[in-house]
Structure formats: C-alpha cells, structure tokens
C-alpha cells in the first residue's frame, strides 16, 4: 500500500507491505537505523520516536498507521547541527554506556520533559519505566534528565 | 595542582555517535543482495526429529533455500574451557541438530529468503515431526540415576565433577567446629539481556576465498579462530568485525551456531547472509547465567572466628556445553571461597550437569557472584547463630591490609588489599550504629527495616596465560596493542580487545595521553576488527583496562623512551639532561630549547636526522601477559524496608565503597558500578528464569521476565579507597563486575535482616513481594 510520512522534515512516499512495522519502515526502507529494536514486545522503548510530537514505540505501530503523520527520529532531533539539550545532558552526565537504548531514552525523555518541565527525580524515574537500560543502572540517565528538566523549568 | 588527564572524569569519546543515532551496530549494516536467515527452532525441550518437510517453505515467493542438519557440513561448535582432573565430557554440539533436539530453541533448519518477514514466514512453514522424550531441567534431578539422558556418552548427564581442596582436612574442621551453619542456595537462572540482540552477517568472496563476518562479539579474534575451525577456512582468510556492540555481559563471548550458519550459508549460496535474533530468540538460545543448586556449610568458633566453608554445587549446563561453560562454576567459582576473610579451610565439589535447557555460560561476574553470595549468606547465618552483630563478625575476620601478595587457602595470591579501610568507610557512610537504633525504633512501630553488608574481593583482569593453560582454558589471556603516531602527531591506538559499552575508547586514550602528553582528543582507539587490529583475547572478566591498559602504557613508555633519545639528538644535548613535562622535552638549564612530542613524531617519520642505530617511524607495539590477576575489593551496604502487609521491598539506600586501584576516569568507574549493582540487585529482587516441567521457557519475553526499571532504585552512594596493584604498570584493577558480585547478597541479607522479627530463615530468589509475603505468613504460623 502507498503511504506518505514526513520523517525528520522530509516527505517520504513509499509502497509498503501493509504488515510492515513503523520501526522496520524507518530502519530498512529509510535507512534511519538510529531507532533500535530491543524487545519486540513494547517493553524496552529502544524504538521510541516522536509521532506528531508524542513519544511512541515504533514497534507497536504499523507504518500504514503513520500515514500522513510527522515522525521525528533520533537522527532528526538535533537542531541546526547542534545537539538537543537532552543529547548534551546524556553526554555530560555519562548517561549511556553501550548506547543501544540511548536513542529511545533520549526520544522518550525529550517528550517527557517538554510536558513536565521541572519534573522531580521520582517523576523522572517513574516515567522511565517504559525504557529499559541494562548498562547504566539508570543513575546517570536520571541525572541527565533532571538537568534538562530543571533547565526547562528555569527557562520559562 | 594536578593537570593530569589520568583521574579526570572527562566526557566519553564514544558518545557523539551514540547520542545521535549515527553508530552502526551489526543489524544496522546493509549489503546489497543480502539474504535473511531465519532458524527453525525446536518447540520441544527433548525430542527425536522424525522428519523435516520443507517443501511448503521452499515453494514460497522469495525463499532461496532451506537446509537442515544433514545438509550442513560444519564441524561441531567447540567447548573451549577444558577443565582438568574433572573427567570432563564434551558432547558433540552440531550447528543444527542432527536426529535429536535438547532444549527449546535448538536449531533444526535454516531458511534463506530475500527479506526478513519472508524468512520468518517460511521458517514457520517448515513442518518438523518430533517424537517427544522425557525432559529434565533441574540440574540436581538431572544428575540422579534414572533421569532422562541427553547424551549416550554422558552418563547421568554429568559432564564434569571438579573438586577443590582436601576433603579429609575439611571434614576434620567441620567435625570439630563449635558452630556449623548450612543452607541450600538456589542461584536461579538469569537472562543476560544485552539490549542489542545478537546479530551476524557474512559475506564470502569465492575468488579470494575470504569470508567477512560482522557479528555481535566481545572477542572477534576468538570468533575468527572458531569460525575458521568450524568452516575449515584458513584463519587468515577470515575477517571478523565486531562493529558497535550493544552490551554483552558475557553473552557475546561464546561462538554460537548462528554465526557459523550465516558463514556457511554465505559460502554455499554466494550471497551475503544476515541473521538477527528476536528478543524471544535471545531468551531461548543466547546463553543464560548462574543456575546453581548449592549445598553450603560454614564452620566457625563460638567466639566468631570463621574456620571454613564447603559446598556441593550442581551447575546446570543446559543442552550443550557452551564455549567457556565448564570454567564458570569451577575455576571462577571455587577459587573465590575465601573471599576477604582469614579462613583456612575450603572445599568445593562442583558437578556440571547437562539439562534440557538453554546452555549456560559466563554472565557478568561468572562464578564469582555465586561464590560471594554463598559466603556472605553463611557469614550472616553464623552471626545470627552466635548472636554477634554481622558487621562485628566481618570486622573480626577480615584479612588485614597488605601491599604485595597474600596467599589464601584456595592457593590464589591476592595482589593487594585494605579490606578494613573500605569496610569502615562503607559503615561510616551508612551510619551503621545509628541505623541499628533506628531499626529498633521502627520495629517497635511495626515497620521493618533491614541492613545487609557484603565485604568482597574478587579476581579479575584475566589473567596470566600460564594459569589459563594450567586450568584448561583453550587460549591465552594476554593482550596486545599498537600505538601508532602519524607524521602530524595524531595517535591511533589499535587494540585486540573489543569493548562494547565500557568506555574504553576514552579510558585507554587517557592512559596514552597521560604517558605521552598528546591531547586526549588527538587519540583514536581502534578495536573490533581482526584485520585492522593486533591479536587479543577479548573484553570480558574485567580485563580490558588492566590488561590492554598495561599493554598500551608499556607501548607508550617505549615511544617516550624513543622520543627522549631523538629529542636529545635533535637538540644536541646529552640524554641525561633531557627533562620531560606535559608532552614536551627540554634541556636542563636551557628552557628555551624544547621539542614537543608532535615535533619528535614528525622528525621520526621524516628520519632526516636520526641518532646512530635508531629506526625511523613513531609506532610501538606491546604484548602484555599479566603476572597475576588483579583483586579489586570493597564493601557494599543496602538498607531496605519491607512492608509486612504486602511483602513489598523498598530499597532505601545503597552504599558501595569499591577499590579498583587508581581510577583513570572516575565517572566511567561509577557507571560500571551503578550498572553492575543494578544487575546484582535485580537477581535478588526480580529477575529469574522459569521453566515448566516440560522445559518450556515461561519467561520468554520482556513481558514475562522482570527487568529492573528506574523506579526500583534510589540514587546510589559511592565511595572509594585506592590501593594500587603492585604488579601492574599503572596500578589499576578491573571494575566491570564488582557491582554484580557484591550487590546480590547485600540486598538479600538486608531483606532477611528486615524480616528477622518474623523468624524468616530464607527466601528463594528472586524475592518477589508474593514470596516475601508468603514467607512472613509461613514463618508466623
């Protein structure tokens, strides 16, 4: 079937097998391999992207369901060649190790902080329940997100 | 004031590609004309294969070929740790099952198709008829007479029986001791769960007979060796590339059938072949960790002197013996039975048992967490029996500080340690005495707080190759590295190890920067490609910083010596008058005369004006075989509160004081500890594989297997002491596994301490709220 999805600002028109998952569409068809697959059952969040501004697990959605939407992946998060503040915060706070969960973590937490500036550490930890990291023990991820959340609250 | 880059928690050099999604992991790499492989896997844990009908699959559009075990002419997947004096059996492990399957997930056939979806559809369409056989999953049950037999040539499923220590002497200690405590400890199976599932892609060039294999490997040089052996290709015609690798925790050490099968299929079909496991496949076929049933005893005197420990361990090996499997519940386990304590008697009998379950192998800590847990569990039981505070009992028995060698009853010679210092520091951070008061007050209010303490040491930085040989490891355990400086003074450091999340590109660059004065941003650490990098045995056993780091430090020191000689020559000075600081050589008394390391590198490349006998170029290589293991140590403390009405456990504080020698990058060290601690706590509280009696994996997805999540944990409180390793060129010890080794018993003991008023003696891990609640009810009745 024919779909049209705007991905990272570029309109992509493709003929896809109706059963194609959005994550496979992004990775295989558009070669946007920054979005990862970690569990196949929507637990780990490695495949998180923004769909019309909301964080969403791209393994739970068919590409066909994304027809007509606006998708941002990790590759499209940086603005004018500058890292998004969340990317910077993960780097500065050692919020990653193997990096595999990182794109999903960053996509999930950018959307979270946008909706929850000044979020508490407890709220951040609670919100991270849909994203699994095996390396960091979450400690420095929480620190990174808190830094951005605090800045977002202070900046208003 | 120090300007040293060594010891600075700089940002990681790996991260720019990882935070932008630009890093390329194996499954991210594409080749034109690639075929996708799917594996038909056994749904039964033990069965004879009666017939395989692939006609429907072969008829599907896009399917190129289907092969079964009889078609595939690969040599068996080898076991590479042949522990001596154990009557070890190494049953055949074909890449695809021939005639019989031995666990759910055992590969039966492969399908090659144009795309991933078609390959999976076709795999589902292969019709395999099985004749079911009786199943045994429990390793102790499997070792009994009359249990279902997995292999004709492995009697009673016992693959090995390994004994450490003098049984008569041990019996003597236990027969005469004032106090003997005992417990049955079940070290449940765990799923390593690297977030990146395993993946492999092979390409073969028939003209040159060269095979390139991209795969999720912690040790590409070992993969090259094994792929060469199973395919029959010359080793110099096999190139193994571990691109970005998304965590391993031991699960990417072994060579699995899948890597061999994509290689075989790529050669057979003349097209590149790729395979990537799903998470369910990962849980079925990628190695599991732990799986011990331990009968443990500890002897002590009434006044609190620990006298000895002994254990019988049934270690589940699963359906086949994985690459390093026999070494895990033996060499890496029994040798840790003394821990940090003055204890003169140790005895271990470890029985490796084949079971109808996924093969087990090294999982973060590998044998050492299982040893540390049993020790710390026993110490708490002794404390309770003799009515001594568990901190006091540990304090009384810790080995006093030593700087250069301490031989213990297991025959290991610990390199250096100051266990009491780390212990007291941790107790200080926790406020131990205050806590006991608070605990007593809380109990009076019907609130149940508990504290758990683990003092540990462990051996890592694997290890001297002579020892590897003596204990049957079929490889060396040295590392090698080349430091190559370009004419413009930029550095490429090529290493044989293969980091996959540890931050070694940063840490190792800091070592070189510290030795030679190059800015850290001018140093690239290159790894993970057998053609580009020198030989190395891989990244596991907390060995890359200590072993590769030593090789790099020594290579850098050789370059510095060359630079000093050349700088003296260029400045027409006596070499004895050359002073070095921050990457610059100057002549004593003539500070205006100097040569930077970059100047010297250029002149070494130009070679216009070299001292007599000096070769051109600015590059040095170093092989490094460590003279001993390194022994990091520390004390961890957990404080929990248990809700007696629900069994819910709240982890309120976690304190970790670790000593890994001088820290090259404290932020990276902290990250290793955070991650390791969470993995260990998760074993205590939530993770655990469940098989039913038919060998069906009930925890086969992340919906069913409880991974630790952010909201289970407080912020961790870290402390450190610094005791350099005396035998290491820069004194460093490994830190990759300490968190996992120390944290499981810490939290376990804390929960039991909280439940002491109820008389709860033990709870099998993971201590879920249901089990805790049940234990409270049962103890109270």
- Say yes or no: A33 and A90 in one domain: no
The pair of three-digit structure tokens given for residue B604, joined into one six-digit string: 């070494």
Which regions of chain B are under pLDDT 50? 1-2
Testing the interface with B: which of A63, A137, A138, A144 to mutate, by most B Cβ within 10 A?
A137
Identity of the residue in A19, A41, A75 whose CB atom sits nearest the CB atom of B703: A41
Q: What integer pLDDT is reported at residue B781 of this predicted model?
A: 55
Class of domain B292-462+628-780: alpha beta
Q: What integer pLDDT is reported at residue B2 of this predicted model?
A: 47
Testing the interface with B: which of A100, A121, A125 to mutate, by most B Cβ within 10 A?
A100
Identity of the residue in A28, A32, A135 whose CB atom sits nearest the CB atom of B247: A135
The domain total for chain A is: 2
Is-above-0.90 flag for pTM? yes
Q: What integer pLDDT is reported at residue B4 of this predicted model?
A: 87
Residues B190, B290: contact at Cβ < 8 Å? yes
- Say yes or no: A118 and A56 in one domain: no
- Calculate how close chain A gets to B739, using CA atoms only, in Å: 10
- Say yes or no: A68 and A95 in one domain: no
- Say yes or no: A65 and A104 in one domain: no
- Say yes or no: A8 and A62 in one domain: yes
Phi and psi based region of residue B223 (left: phi greater than 0; alpha: psi -120 to 50; beta: remaining): alpha
What ipTM does the predicted assembly reach?
0.98
- Chain A CB within 8 Å of residue B19 CB: yes
- Say yes or no: A30 and A69 in one domain: yes
Identity of the residue in B193, B249, B667 whose CB atom sits nearest the CB atom of A94: B667
Q: What integer pLDDT is reported at residue B3 of this predicted model?
A: 66
Interface of B with A in 232-251 (CB under 8 A): 244-247, 249
CA–CA dist B624, B728 (Å, integer): 11
- State the CATH architecture for B18-133+195-247+252-285: Alpha-Beta Complex (3.90)
Q: Do B710 and A124 touch (CB under 8 A)?
A: yes
Domain boundaries, chain B: 18-133+195-247+252-285, 292-462+628-780, 478-624
Q: From residue B504, give the alpha-carbon distance in Å to each of A143, B112, B474, B665.
A: 22, 37, 26, 10
A129 contact residues in B (CB cutoff 8 A): 709-711
Name the nearest CA neighbour of B450 among B720, B683, B644.
B644
Q: Do A34 and B16 touch (CB under 8 A)?
A: no
Q: Do A141 and B710 touch (CB under 8 A)?
A: yes
- Chain A CB within 8 Å of residue B27 CB: yes
- Say yes or no: A90 and A121 in one domain: yes
Q: Do B677 and A36 touch (CB under 8 A)?
A: no
- Calculate how close chain B gets to A94, using CA atoms only, in Å: 7
- Say yes or no: A72 and A137 in one domain: no
Q: What integer pLDDT is reported at residue B331 of this predicted model?
A: 97
Identity of the residue in B502, B711, B716 whose CB atom sits nearest the CB atom of A125: B711
- Calculate how close chain A gets to B705, using CA atoms only, in Å: 11
Is B292-462+628-780's fold the same as B478-624's?
yes
Q: Which of A46, A76, A106 is the last residue of a domain?
A: A76
The domain spanning residue A109 has which CATH number?
1.10.150.120
CA–CA dist B369, B497 (Å, integer): 24
Class of domain B478-624: alpha beta
The domain spanning residue A62 has which CATH number?
3.10.20.30
Rg (CA), chain A: 15
DSSP for B28-72, written as a single string = G---TTPEEEEEEE-SSSSEEEEEEE-HHHHTSTTEEEEEETTT-
- For the range B729-732, what are the long-range contacts, defined as Cβ-Cβ under 8 Å and sequence gap of 24 or more? B729/B550, B729/B553, B729/B554, B729/B557, B730/B6, B730/B511, B730/B549, B730/B550, B730/B553, B730/B662, B731/B661, B731/B662, B732/B545, B732/B546, B732/B549, B732/B630, B732/B660, B732/B661, B732/B662, B732/B664
- Say yes or no: A68 and A14 in one domain: yes
- Say yes or no: A147 and A119 in one domain: yes
- Say yes or no: A27 and A93 in one domain: no
Q: What integer pLDDT is reported at residue B1 of this predicted model?
A: 38
Phi, psi of B293 (to 5 degrees): -115, 120
- Say yes or no: A98 and A143 in one domain: yes
- Chain A CB within 8 Å of residue B702 CB: yes
pLDDT by residue for chain A (156 residues), tens only, comes to 999 999 999 999 999 999 999 999 999 999 999 999 999 999 999 999 999 999 999 999 999 999 999 999 999 999 888 999 999 999 999 999 999 999 999 999 999 999 999 999 999 999 999 999 999 999 999 999 999 999 999 865
- Chain A CB within 8 Å of residue B677 CB: yes
The domain in which residue A115 lies consists of 85-155
A59 contact residues in B (CB cutoff 8 A): none
B676 contact residues in A (CB cutoff 8 A): 137
Testing the interface with A: which of B10, B19, B23, B199 to mutate, by most A Cβ within 10 A?
B19
CA–CA dist B702, B281 (Å, integer): 12
Q: What integer pLDDT is reported at residue A155 of this predicted model?
A: 60
């Amino acid at each position: 079937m024919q779909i049209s999805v705007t991905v990272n600002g570029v309109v992509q028109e493709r003929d896809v097998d109706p059963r194609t998952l959005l994550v496979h569409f992004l990775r295989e068809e558009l070669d946007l391999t920054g979005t990862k697959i970690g569990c196949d059952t929507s637990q780990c969040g490695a495949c998180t992207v923004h769909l019309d501004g909301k964080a969403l697990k791209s393994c739970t959605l068919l590409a066909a369901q994304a027809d007509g939407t606006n998708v941002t992946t990790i590759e499209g998060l940086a603005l004018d060649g500058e890292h998004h503040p969340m990317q910077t915060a993960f780097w500065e706070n050692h919020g990653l190790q193997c990096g595999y969960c990182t794109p999903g973590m960053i996509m999930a937490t950018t959307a979270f902080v946008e909706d929850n500036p000044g979020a508490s550490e407890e709220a951040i930890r609670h919100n991270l329940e849909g994203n699994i990291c095996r390396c960091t023990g979450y400690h420095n991820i929480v620190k990174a997100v808190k830094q951005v959340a605090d800045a977002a609250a202070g900046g208003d | 004031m120090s300007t040293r880059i060594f010891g600075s928690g700089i940002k990681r050099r790996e991260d720019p590609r990882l935070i932008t999604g630009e890093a390329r992991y194996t499954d991210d790499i594409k080749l034109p004309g690639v075929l996708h492989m799917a594996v038909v896997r056994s749904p039964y844990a033990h069965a004879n294969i009666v017939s395989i009908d692939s006609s429907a699959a072969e008829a599907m559009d896009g399917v190129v070929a289907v092969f079964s075990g009889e078609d595939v002419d690969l040599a068996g997947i080898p076991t590479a740790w042949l522990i001596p004096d154990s009557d070890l059996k190494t049953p055949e492990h074909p890449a695809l099952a021939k005639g019989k399957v031995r666990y759910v997930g055992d590969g039966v056939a492969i399908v090659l198709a144009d795309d991933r979806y078609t390959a999976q559809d076709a795999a589902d369409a292969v019709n395999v008829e099985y004749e079911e056989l009786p199943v045994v999953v429990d390793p102790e049950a499997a070792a009994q007479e009359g249990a279902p037999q997995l292999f004709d040539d492995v009697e009673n499923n016992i693959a090995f029986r390994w004994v450490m220590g003098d049984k008569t002497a041990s019996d003597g200690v236990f027969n005469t001791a004032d106090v003997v405590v005992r417990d049955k400890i079940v070290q449940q199976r765990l799923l390593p769960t690297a977030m990146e599932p395993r993946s492999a892609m092979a390409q073969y060039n028939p003209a040159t007979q060269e095979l390139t294999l991209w795969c999720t490997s912690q040790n590409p040089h070992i993969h090259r060796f094994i792929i060469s052996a199973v395919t029959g290709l010359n080793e110099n015609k096999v190139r193994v590339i571990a691109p970005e690798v998304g965590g391993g925790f031991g699960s990417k050490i072994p060579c699995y059938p899948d890597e061999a099968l994509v290689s075989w299929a790529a050669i057979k079909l003349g097209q590149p072949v790729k395979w990537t496991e799903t998470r369910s496949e990962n849980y079925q076929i990628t190695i599991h960790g732990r799986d011990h049933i331990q009968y443990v005893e500890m002897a002590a005197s009434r006044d609190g002197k620990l006298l000895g420990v002994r254990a019988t361990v049934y270690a589940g090996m699963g359906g086949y013996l994985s690459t390093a499997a026999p070494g895990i519940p033996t060499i890496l386990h029994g040798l840790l039975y003394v821990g940090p304590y003055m204890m003169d008697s140790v005895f271990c009998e470890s029985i490796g048992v084949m079971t109808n379950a996924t093969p087990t192998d090294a999982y973060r800590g590998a044998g050492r967490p299982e040893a540390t847990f049993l020790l710390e569990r026993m110490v708490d039981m002794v404390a309770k029996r003799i009515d001594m505070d568990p901190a006091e009992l540990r304090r009384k028995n810790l080995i006093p500080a030593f700087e250069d060698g301490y031989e213990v009853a297991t025959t290991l010679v610990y390199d250096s340690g100051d266990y009491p210092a780390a212990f007291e520091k941790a107790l200080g951070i926790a406020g131990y005495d205050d806590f006991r008061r608070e605990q007593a007050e809380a109990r009076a209010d019907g609130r149940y707080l508990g504290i758990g303490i683990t003092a540990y040491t462990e051996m890592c930085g694997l290890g001297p190759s002579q020892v590897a040989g003596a204990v049957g490891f079929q490889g060396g355990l040295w590392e090698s590295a080349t430091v190559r400086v370009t004419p413009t003074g930029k550095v490429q450091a090529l290493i044989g190890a293969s980091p996959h999340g540890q931050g070694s590109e940063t840490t190792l660059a800091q070592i070189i920067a510290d030795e030679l004065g190059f800015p850290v941003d001018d140093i690239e650490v290159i790894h993970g490609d057998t053609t580009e990098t020198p030989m190395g045995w891989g990244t596991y056993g907390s060995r890359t910083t200590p072993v590769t780091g030593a090789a790099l430090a020594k290579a850098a020191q050789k370059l510095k010596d060359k630079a000093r000689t050349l700088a003296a020559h260029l400045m027409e000075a006596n070499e004895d008058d050359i002073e070095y600081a921050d990457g610059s050589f100057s002549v004593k008394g003539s500070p205006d005369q100097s040569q930077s390391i970059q100047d010297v590198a250029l002149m070494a490349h130009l070679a216009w004006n070299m001292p007599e006998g000096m070769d051109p170029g600015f590059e040095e290589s170093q092989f490094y075989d460590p003279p001993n293991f390194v022994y990091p140590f520390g004390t961890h403390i957990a404080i929990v509160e248990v809700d007696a009405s629900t069994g819910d456990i709240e982890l309120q504080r976690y304190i970790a004081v670790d000593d890994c020698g001088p820290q090259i990058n404290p932020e990276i060290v902290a990250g290793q500890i955070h991650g390791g601690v969470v993995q260990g706590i998760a074993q205590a509280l939530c993770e655990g594989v469940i098989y039913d009696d038919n060998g069906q994996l009930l925890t086969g997805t992340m919906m069913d297997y409880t991974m630790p999540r952010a909201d289970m944990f407080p912020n961790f409180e870290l402390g450190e002491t610094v005791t350099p390793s005396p035998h290491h060129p820069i004194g460093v010890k490994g830190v990759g596994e300490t968190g996992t080794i120390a944290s499981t018993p810490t939290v376990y003991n804390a929960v039991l301490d909280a439940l002491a008023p109820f008389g709860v003696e033990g709870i099998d891990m993971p201590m879920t709220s249901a089990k805790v609640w049940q234990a409270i009810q049962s103890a109270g009745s």
